[in-house]
Chains A and B, each alone.
Chain A
């Protein structure tokens, strides 16, 4: 009894089982006295399933056996093939009594006490007899079917022998008690036959009592009703408000004694509040740790090798939620082990490592806790699931044809769904996933499943933090105060509009701020929420902007507020459903002064401001494709600036190249010789008219305007203006730029939007073509490498990937792309030495930046001397210096094709060309 961890687990199991028994008893009595409802019987069935599962794990074999038998007897009732007779209810009650009895003396059960086993067998025999009797002829189960298939032959035979014959017309209710009693009698009489024995027994009992007492005195926990905690929590909240009032009052008071008391009150109240909060919050590890054992036992039972890892065990979750997700987690993990992970032989055949891997990852994201359970097993058999679902009538065949892969996977959550060919004691009755869905729904969470045939399955639970404490940014817009979950806040900006560099620009009615070269769309909170203007200021004369840069699915946007007040840990209070539906607020909270503040739902705001549509689409698409992609932060969509030229059709160019958009009056633009230039910010801007470049004929439809739309693009630190007819909008496109059917000068390719096709202009190529018309074609052949080389390129922006790919393809270089530093490092780690000739890396990337990547590569023995070139827009001296320090051989600026090719050639062929 020295290690009390397992003991704690067992006592927890007992407490939990007692709860279940209590619930079962009350549900059964309801069914006995009231009308038969499917909901009740489903709930009973699920409870028994849970009881069966957990008891087996903790070695309560007898309870497991009873559970299995009960389940088997109730299955026909649940599927409405057999009615629930009073007799059956009675016998179920007596089974529950027996389970309760076992739980009262767990040590007997754990030491595999023979008497308990005998009693159990007779209880089960009795149950089966009643169950078999209560079914009418059309039910096919026989006595033998009630036993778990993987049960040992011996037990089965003993049990069968115990069964009264079918023609035996004995009344059914009494044998249990009789057997039990007679066994008790036998036992006691033999035990107590001698006086010495009695003394020995007494001694044993005494010592047992002592042993039992010691852990009890050590135990430092008690079970408290959640409702009591709730009340405590609310009282503590009230206390804080009172305290605040006292603090306010004390400011007008200079009674020293009173001030002293006030200070102590302040301290004590803070501590009280903190501790009361703590009572409800528990690390998720409390629940997860128990699964290590669960998985170990399952893998032993199933003869599989399964590794189980838990990440983020410290993530805290409200106690009641923790309770609510316990059962779902058990079922998911059990399913992963049983259905997901293959046998070692099968894994070997599929060239996977012999031991499977089940991982639970928990983390907080905004107002939610995400729990991901992933396995690297065989994945879901989607065709089979679909076939089964149609067979079971869950979906109609017509609808089935329209389902996407993702929707098919979701079907496993339908009540009673199971595809397992045989029913094992572990899972396969199809009750598990049903439990998962109902329980998670109940707490307002969501379940999502992604699967990849042969690669594994990932189940993602999103649990709201109804009571969790969330660090938040407190902001003011007009006269209203709002809280923004800190986890969504990327940075805070204070923009002085008077200064030269900072300007809010307007792009088709959308305010844009240029943040370190990236365009940041701005959302004005007061406009979005339609707040009454109370400050009397208008947007135009408001010379200081407070911008909270927020992320939604990796896509940042700026939320303009009037004032940034504070940061605070807030307690999330749920909103009623009809307010949640506004989707702009995720909850509310009580501020220090007792007022209520709304918590901004960042995702909802983005959606409301229409920032999201394209991103969202690509996200959904992503989740369909499977688990690996979830980790992939590669920005799937690209932003393109759309404009028109003469004639039909739309044109666009990647927004990332755009420096500014200008409307220049015609008198600013002049034709000087063969060049067209504009006066622009005290300097001269070369203008390229795309209509002329592409030799597009003037059409009569073009309206006469007095201004010219110019897209300013920078190349090699020089600005060029590209003159177009009309600038439309920036559109997110998720598809790739497709190469044109026919190579055309100045054209990168085509993109397909939902309805139309647009031509993507190769702005840089055009500029190059105009400024150095002879260079590009001539130098190409010289630049090609003598030997084909393989280059790993870490870069998160798709446009640059395509750009570099194009350049390198012409130089006989094969490019392998990785969306971030971490991914690149993984590629290298898994590759054999010599597989890559060079590493090319961006500096600013998500997850792992270029500097970190370089450092890590240099530590890796097989890659420590691979040539590495950094490619970045961050081209300050300090950056270059740091780049060389961490191990880059060269540090280049982006979008300089010639330099890049030259550098690669130098690094690979060792000679300066």
Chain B
């Protein structure tokens, strides 16, 4: 039975995951240089030891307007299409391993604001894990 590992995190109390192979590192919030005129989900550019990553707030990207609770945000730094994307999430969870059998395609009814970035859903005990596809994020951004 094949399985995959995902780095999980919470955005607005919902559980999301990104394939660990796509995650370079997790960091605390760092000083970001604002990019004037950029869309609101672009928090800015951060210097990641000499490489520049674009910080993108998932709350804003997913269009979740709920007020953020007061836990400190974290950066999930992902690599894709030759650029570094630092996804800002509310809280970091565990790296979990799920089996392919638990996979379901993204339900049609899901809010397209989030759905367009999703690969699918894993049913895990007591929760659903939405899988975020970094490539899709970059694709949508570049469109």
Contacts and interface: CB of A to CB of B under 8 A. Distances in A.
Given A579-B42, A588-B45, A598-B45, A531 B52 contact: no
A532 B113 CA distance: 29
Interface string A579-611: 100101100101000111110000000000000
Interface string B48-84: 0111101000000000000000000000000000010
Contacts of A588: 33, 45, 52
Given A241-B50, A596-B47, A576 B141 contact: yes
Interface residues of B, number: 24
A489 B29 CA distance: 36
A529 B85 CA distance: 23
Interface in A222-258: 233-238, 241
Interface string A560-583: 000000000000011111110010
Given A234-B51, A596-B46, A596-B52, A576 B83 contact: yes
Given A529-B36, A596-B45, A590 B50 contact: yes
Interface string A813-857: 000000000000000000000000000000000000000000000
Contacts of A574: 83
B37 A594 contact: no
A122 B29 CA distance: 67
Interface string A697-737: 00000000000000000000000000000000000000000
Nearest to A594: B47
Contacts of B38: 579, 582
Given A590-B50, A598-B45, A579 B35 contact: yes
Contact of A598 (B35, B47, B83, B141): B35
Contacts of B39: 578
Nearest to A571: B50
Contact of A238 (B34, B49, B52, B85): B49
B1 interface: no
Q: How large is the interface on A (under 10, 10 to 19, 20 to 34, 35 or more residues)?
A: 20 to 34
B49 A582 contact: no
Given A234-B51, A576-B141, A595 B36 contact: no
A898 interface: no
B31 interface: yes
B137 to A, nearest CB: 10
A529 B49 contact: no
Interface in A425-479: none
Contacts of B44: 596
A530 interface: yes
Nearest to B34: A480
A481 B38 CA distance: 16
Nearest to A525: B36
A529 B33 CA distance: 14
B52 A577 contact: no
A234 B50 CA distance: 5
Contacts of A480: 33-34, 36
B25 to A, nearest CB: 14
A585 B35 CA distance: 9
A577 B37 contact: no
A579 B54 contact: yes
Complex A-B, nearest 4 residue pairs according to Cβ-Cβ distance, in ascending order: A237-B50, A529-B36, A596-B33, A578-B141
Given A577-B141, A579-B35, A579-B38, 16 more contacts: A233-B50, A235-B50, A237-B50, A241-B50, A529-B37, A574-B83, A576-B54, A576-B83, A576-B141, A577-B142, A578-B39, A578-B141, A588-B33, A588-B45, A590-B47, A596-B52
